[in-house]
Amino acid sequence: MAISTLPGDVRPANPMRRLLAALEPWYDWGTINTSRMDARTDAECTEGEVYWFDLQWFGLHLGFQIGRTPKRRG
C-alpha cells in the first residue's frame, strides 16, 4: 500500500527557489601552478603561479588565467 501524503518533515519543492537556483551563476577562483607552453624538452619545462577565475552561467563557461610566463631554463 502506497502512502499518498508526505511525512511532516518533508516540504514540497518550491518552484520559485528552483528557478532562482538555476539562474544563479557558479564561479570559483584561486591560484594554480602552470608550465611553459613552448617547452620542447623536460629541461626547458618550468612552472610559475598564476591566478585563475571560472564562471559558468546558463551553460556557458568562461575561464581566465592571468599571470607571468615562467622564465625559460638554460
- Tell the burial category of 27 from Cβ atoms under 10 Å away from its Cβ (0-12, 13-18, 19+): exposed
Cell 528552483 locates to 18
pTM: 0.56
Per-residue pLDDT, 54: 96
Per-residue pLDDT, 3: 58
One pLDDT digit (tens) per residue for the chain, 74 residues: 555 665 666 666 778 877 777 788 889 999 998 877 777 777 777 888 899 999 998 889 999 999 887 777 66
- Give the helix/strand (H/E) hosting 26: strand 26-35
